[in-house]
Structure 1
Amino acid sequence: METLEKKGKGSALLPFLLFIVIYLGAGLYFQAQGVEMAFYQFPSVTAMFIALLLAFCQGKGTIDQKFTVFAKGAANENVLTMLMIYILAGAFSTVASAMGGVDATVNLGLSVIPVHFLAAGVFVISAFMGTATGTSMGTISAIVPIAVGVAEKGGLSLPLFLGACVGGAMFGDNLSMISDTTIAATRTQGCQLRDKFRVNFLIALPAAIITIIVLLVVGRPETVTEMGNLSFNVIKVIPYLAVLVLALIGMNVFLVLTIGIFAAGIIGLALGDLDIPLFAQSIWNGFTGMNEVFFLSLFCGGMSEMIAHNGGITWLIEKLGRMMKGNKSAQVGVAALVSLADCATANNTVAIIVSGPMAKNMSRIHKVDPRRTASLLDVFSCVLQGMIPWGAQLLTAASLTTIYGVTMNPIDILPYMWYCWILAAVGILSIFIPFADGICRKDPWNWEYDVAESGVAAKKASLELERQESAQTPI
């Protein structure tokens, strides 16, 4: 709430814009020059560091005071959660690969599923897991290693498979009843989880069906690579099955990945594929293999807090608020607001929390059903989160490929993020052709009750503030 009370200042967004100019500009320049691995010539972490230096040059206060703001963002619970998932996912993937788990799982999959259906299959599996667990990061961490192996051995497009995996994970992140984004969207708009799900489902499902059809067509290889020997040891598949099953039953993602690491290690030790030093080294190599995404997320979290502290997010909210003139434009404004907030924060949950109060206010003014507003917040925050190259999802997917000797850049995956592109189109279409608003028409929102409840909540907050101030007044 502190962010919303600050005076808006557009110049606070300059560090974010500088990062985009350096990161994308350098990549496009080197690509035009015909340089191989163009987007790796100027590291994204270095671009973010330069942008961070600009953020430290802005605003009032000493360097120590500004560093306090940076540290608050870098040490945010959501950022630290992502960082831990990164290193645990890297360790699990490295250990499982070292003991032969990837090859065994890939060979099993290729033996069961026809090559023509593999891309669509990866999307469906990721969508199912993401919906059941509510975490796109956990889904990507578990599925990407398998997708990389399948694509490599099947002679299929690796960016296409990664796009299918991340797209399915974002489907789950958007729709899951236990996802942070769902909870944040419904809480900020004051509606029920089940009601938001009904509206959201009618947007996400058509997008998912279209995506599956596209993947069945586009993902069909022109020539099928000879698979050769597809022998596998079922025991080596157990760590992946354990991670999938434990995640699906709702176990904490940290515990799931830790169990996966030691399950892979124990099996590798028992079968002679690992020894104690190699097991320990594999864990460490997994940690260090995620250093780029780790530092980028750390810097981005701190810089986002500085941008918000200097009024950048408030400026976005104020500008978009002036453009909302009616019901339809308000819905477009909400979609644009949360999208821009996500670009600036690189965290869809934070983007919803930051833009939620403004969206709620606009829904009251222009009579947009809060169940509809909650759905728009969740849909478009997940669309952008799955598409920004500096977002955790694409960064993690690209980083996990390096463990298997493959160099991939988030930019390479972006054109294959079919689900996010299609979800954006369906979401915009639903604003002008309200095919997803059945529950809103059948059970219209009680605006008088909503305003009354808001007034009661505000009064309670005011009384509580007065009580705290009186309690702090010296006698």
Structure 2
Amino acid sequence: MKRSESPQPVTMLEALIPIAGLVFLVSLSFYLFGDGGANGPNQVALVVATMLAVFVGWRRGHSLASLREAANASVSSGIGAILILFAVGALIGTWALSGTIVAMVYYGLKLLSPDYFYVTAAGICAVISFAIGTSWTVAGTIGIGLMGIAHSMGLSPAITAGAVISGAYFGDKSSPLSDTANLAAAAAGADLYQHVRETLLTSLVAIVITLAVFYLLGRPGAFDASAEVAAMQSAFYISPVLFLPLILVVVLTLFRLPPFTTIFLGALAGGVVAVFVEPARVLAFAAAREGVPIPIAMLKGVWLALGSGYRSTTGNPVLDTLLTRGGMDSMLNTIWLIITALAFGGESAADGGDRLRGYPHATRPSSPSRDLNGRRPPNSGP
């Protein structure tokens, strides 16, 4: 297999080699590992596909040094998103520790109306998923609780599931705390806030229509969330004060501070609120050795929540599942995926820029444009 002496455009077949390799490997990863593929196998597939792209580029005359620089430049473009994801993980950890997340769920349940259960359920899931940046967690915790409530009220489980999923995915898609939103913005090289604003243009229309439909589907029924509310009250101190970190994030966002600064300050605010509102919880979570001063032990608890996330031990399965999360290390799989995906994209772009130049039909000059009446513009040639 002869190597070109100088960089040459790749052919269409060569362009498809790394892409086809990636599709095959990701498909094989899903077959072998299922959903667990995102925890490493998919990243390995991207690395192998990147090496295929390197080989194609090298064969077409690119030096290994230039290909390495292309990968480095591409990965460097995602550093901002990576730092934001670290901040998001830290924020979720301290908000779980302080009770901010529980407060959102608590007041959401208090707002549930028996006459408009479906629309209220969708709204609660949308707000909470927007606040914590995850749809699966909301659907797997609050959603399960709402399904149980719907069953006890004799309401349709299918419509309830639709309301939960609709609300959860709206928040996940539109939240600046969402890892998928950050990944999409990083891959496209777009500003995170601009990406969120653009997605809101379509998401808001969709959620308004969805809420209207669920409103029309609602019907009167009995509702009692006293058990869920009592469980939260027994495990956490519930107060509007717990919304201070959320308010801070909203205010800083309105002042257009950089996303990382905004989110990380929100994470620190969650730690401060936890120290003042839930000092016993912070000390228990820190599990500091005997003799450590209380302020240092509290610092350790907040530090752990920022780095490794919060581990809830209330004894309530739903609450523990909802709150055992966060920490910068919880974002490492996503960050690993971002790095490998950007490296693959950088190598693919470096192989020859416009790959279609190697495709015979792509080099043909396009026909002159015509106006609405089918006439050619002046001096357009025969």
CA deviation map 1:395-439 (0-9, x unaligned): xxxxxxxxxxxxxxxxxxxxxxxxxxxxxxxxxxxxxxxxxxxxx
Deviation at 1:323, TM superposition (A): 12
Question: What letter corresponds to residue 346 of structure 2 in structure 1?
Answer: E
Q: What 5-or-longer segments of structure 1 have no aligned partner?
A: 32-36, 127-138, 185-196, 327-363, 369-447, 449-475
Question: What letter corresponds to residue 24 of structure 1 in structure 2?
Answer: S
1:26 aligns with 2:29: yes
RMSD: 4.7
Structure 1's 38 and 8: CA in aligned 2 closer, same or farther, altered over 3 A? same
Maintained 8 Å contact 1:123/1:212: no
Question: What letter corresponds to residue 27 of structure 1 in structure 2?
Answer: F
Question: What letter corresponds to residue 54 of structure 1 in structure 2?
Answer: L
Deviation at 1:102, TM superposition (A): 1.1
Structure 1's 144 and 58: CA in aligned 2 closer, same or farther, altered over 3 A? same
From 49, 55, 58, give the equivalent of 2:56.
Answer: 58
Could you tell me the TM-score, scaled by structure 1's length?
A: 0.49
Structure 1's 250 and 321: CA in aligned 2 closer, same or farther, altered over 3 A? farther
Q: Give the Cα separation in 2 of the matches to 1:218 and 1:39.
A: 38
Maintained 8 Å contact 1:125/1:168: no
Match of 2:72 in 1: 71
Match of 1:135 in 2: none
Could you tell me the TM-score, scaled by structure 2's length?
A: 0.59
Maintained 8 Å contact 1:85/1:254: yes
Where do 1:408-447 residues align within 5 Å?
none
Q: Give the Cα separation in 1 of the matches to 2:361 and 2:216.
A: 39
Match of 1:252 in 2: 258
Maintained 8 Å contact 2:95/2:267: yes
Match of 2:306 in 1: 283
Q: Give the Cα separation in 2 of the matches to 1:182 and 1:367.
A: 39
From 348, 352, 375, give the equivalent of 1:311.
Answer: 352
Q: What 5-or-longer segments of structure 2 have no aligned partner?
A: 1-6, 148-159, 185-189, 283-297, 309-326, 378-382
Where do 1:48-127 residues align within 5 Å?
48-60=46-58, 61-76=62-77, 79-114=78-113, 115-118=117-120, 120-121=122-123
Maintained 8 Å contact 1:74/1:301: yes
Secondary structure at the counterpart of residue 58 of structure 1: helix
Where do 1:382-393 residues align within 5 Å?
none
Maintained 8 Å contact 2:94/2:305: yes
Say which structure, 1 or 2, has more relative contact order (CA 8 Å, 6+ apart): 2
Deviation at 1:21, TM superposition (A): 2.5
From 216, 240, 245, give the equivalent of 1:239.
Answer: 245
Q: Give the Cα separation in 2 of the matches to 1:235 and 1:260.
A: 14
Match of 2:146 in 1: 154
Deviation at 1:288, TM superposition (A): 1.0
Q: Give the Cα separation in 1 of the matches to 2:213 and 2:44.
A: 37
Maintained 8 Å contact 2:118/2:214: no
Maintained 8 Å contact 2:18/2:49: yes
Match of 2:337 in 1: 296
CA deviation map 1:281-337 (0-9, x unaligned): 1111111110111011011112101111113654399899799999xxxxxxxxxxx
Maintained 8 Å contact 1:88/1:258: yes
Q: Give the Cα separation in 2 of the matches to 1:219 and 1:73.
A: 50
Question: What letter corresponds to residue 266 of structure 2 in structure 1?
Answer: G
Where do 1:184-223 residues align within 5 Å?
207=206, 209-213=208-212
Maintained 8 Å contact 2:91/2:306: yes
Secondary structure at the counterpart of residue 134 of structure 2: helix
Question: What letter corresponds to residue 91 of structure 2 in structure 1?
Answer: F
Maintained 8 Å contact 2:54/2:67: yes
CA deviation map 1:78-109 (0-9, x unaligned): x1121111110011001111222211121112
Report the structure, 1 or 2, having the larger helix content: 1
Match of 2:20 in 1: 17
Report how many residues are paired: 288
Match of 2:3 in 1: none
Deviation at 1:6, TM superposition (A): 7.9
Deviation at 1:260, TM superposition (A): 0.6
Match of 2:44 in 1: 46
Secondary structure at the counterpart of residue 57 of structure 2: coil
Deviation at 1:266, TM superposition (A): 0.5
Q: Give the Cα separation in 2 of the matches to 1:320 and 1:218.
A: 54
Deviation at 1:268, TM superposition (A): 0.8
Question: What letter corresponds to residue 117 of structure 1 in structure 2?
Answer: V
From 158, 166, 169, give the equivalent of 2:172.
Answer: 166
Structure 1's 268 and 315: CA in aligned 2 closer, same or farther, altered over 3 A? same
Structure 1's 40 and 262: CA in aligned 2 closer, same or farther, altered over 3 A? closer
Q: Give the Cα separation in 1 of the matches to 2:214 and 2:359.
A: 40
Task: Pick the structure with greater CA Rg.
Answer: 2
